[in-house]
Amino acid sequence: MVTTTIEAVLFAAAKPIKLSDLRKHLDLSEEIVCEAVDDIAKRLNVETSGVHLMEQNGAVQLVSNASVGEDVAKFLKKEASGPLTRPSLETLTIIAYRGPITKPEIEVIRGVNCSLILRNLLIRGFILEEQDKTRLQPVYTVSHEFLQALGVNRLDALPDYEAFRHNDKIDELLSREPEETQV
């Protein structure tokens, strides 16, 4: 079960995770985390698997098999050049009007998980992810490319910017305790 949990966390994170963070956040010993990581690597790091476990500098990440890297790159390029979906547009709007904003805050406003949407927006270059030392987690802001694509030179030029930036209902929603905001 621990192996399954770690594998799911690595899949959902879609970025390198420090082994020390896995131990800390999952309340596991170093030995158990290392055994689980070894088990995942043994199962996935074979030629017939499309996903491999990469380990470097004390961090692990699920990555695509290098032998299919060219096909993956073609697909991602095509995916990143197509039109934005409605959920992507909603998420991008939230980031534009409320950023810098954390993933949990976006999810409270939207009511659904946004991991894949954020990944897609990062790939397209429409948003930036930075570590916020105060909140101790990544925060998202829109990029210069996004503003350029919209044809505006600053965020406050967006329609009704102040009304959405400082909206009492959204502020109240974000200030609730986690159990109050569950969907």
Q: Where are the beta strands (DSSP E) in the chain?
A: 17-18, 51-56, 59-64, 101-102, 127-132, 137-142
CATH code of the domain made up of 83-181: 1.10.10.10
**Domains 2-66 and 83-181 equal at CATH topology level:** yes
Cβ pair 54, 61 in contact under 8 A = yes
Fold type of domain 2-66: Arc Repressor Mutant, subunit A (1.10.10)
Could you report how far apart the first and last alpha carbons of the chain are, in Å? 26
How far are the Cα atoms of 16, 50, 102, 132 from residue 10, in angstroms, in the given order?
8, 15, 19, 21
Chain CA centroid to CA 179, Å: 22
Q: How many CB atoms lie within 10 A of CB 128?
A: 19
Q: What is the pLDDT of residues 70-103, one digit of tens each?
A: 887 777 676 666 788 899 999 999 999 998 999 9
Q: What is the mean pLDDT of residues 115-125?
A: 89
pLDDT at 182 over 70: no
Q: pLDDT exceeding 70 applies to what percent of the chain?
A: 93
Show the DSSP H helices in 84-153 as ranges: 86-98, 103-110, 115-124, 144-150
How far are the Cα atoms of 112, 127, 132 from residue 120, in angstroms, in the given order?
16, 9, 21
pLDDT at 166 over 60: yes
In the chain, what are the domain boundaries?
2-66, 83-181
What pLDDT is recorded for position 28? 92
What pLDDT is recorded for position 105? 92
What pLDDT is recorded for position 181? 46
